[in-house]
């Protein structure tokens, strides 16, 4: 199993996200690896589930692509929610969301896409084999993300 390095933050998460993705979000804390490093959502202008998915995608892209040397980068990164639970710890409310993450090494993905583009119109192109190769090249991992939604929960109950 490939282990990706956990991202560190100096609790300037909103600025990091803005620099990397050119989006302004009201977030703080860590990258959501556990309760002590939860990603704190302080306000949201989009639905909470969508925001959590977006933030998980951002972390995943940074871990699996943006911080790695070119030859180790992954592409075709997709995340899908597998399960979620809400947990209260002390005075905080957390959404703990487990995502299945799939990805293919960028260089392998590019080769597969090129082969598909070149062969798709050829009667001898084996589409079944092509998708078998894609499946065999796909890395699948499951990761839990901790979101501190205390501020959102308080806002929603007061409305």
Question: pLDDT tens digits, residue range 63-72?
Answer: 999 999 999 9
Q: Indicate the domain borders of the chain.
A: 13-105+141-158
142: helix, strand or coil? strand
Whether the pTM exceeds 0.85: the reply is: yes
Mean pLDDT of the chain: 91
Alpha carbon distance 25, 39 (integer Å) = 12
Q: Is the pLDDT of residue 103 over 80?
A: yes
Residue 1's pLDDT is 60
Measure the CA angle with vertex 53, ends 49 and 59; round to 5°: 145
107 CB-contact burial (10 Å; exposed 0-12 / middle 13-18 / buried 19+):
middle
């Amino acid at each position: 199993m490939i282990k990706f390095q956990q991202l560190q933050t100096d609790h300037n998460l909103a600025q990091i996200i803005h620099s990397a993705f050119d989006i302004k979000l009201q977030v703080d804390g860590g990258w959501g690896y556990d309760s002590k490093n939860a990603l704190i959502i302080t306000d949201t202008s989009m639905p909470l589930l969508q925001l959590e998915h977006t933030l998980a995608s951002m972390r995943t892209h940074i871990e699996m692509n943006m911080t790695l040397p070119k030859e180790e980068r992954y592409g075709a990164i997709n995340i899908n929610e597998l399960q979620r639970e809400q947990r209260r710890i002390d005075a905080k409310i957390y959404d703990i969301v487990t995502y299945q993450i799939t990805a293919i090494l960028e260089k392998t993905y590019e080769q597969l896409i090129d082969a598909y583009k070149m062969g798709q119109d050829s009667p001898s192109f084996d589409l079944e084999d092509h998708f078998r190769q894609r499946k065999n090249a796909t890395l699948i991992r499951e990761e839990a993300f901790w979101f501190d939604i205390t501020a959102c929960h308080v806002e929603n109950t007061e409305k």
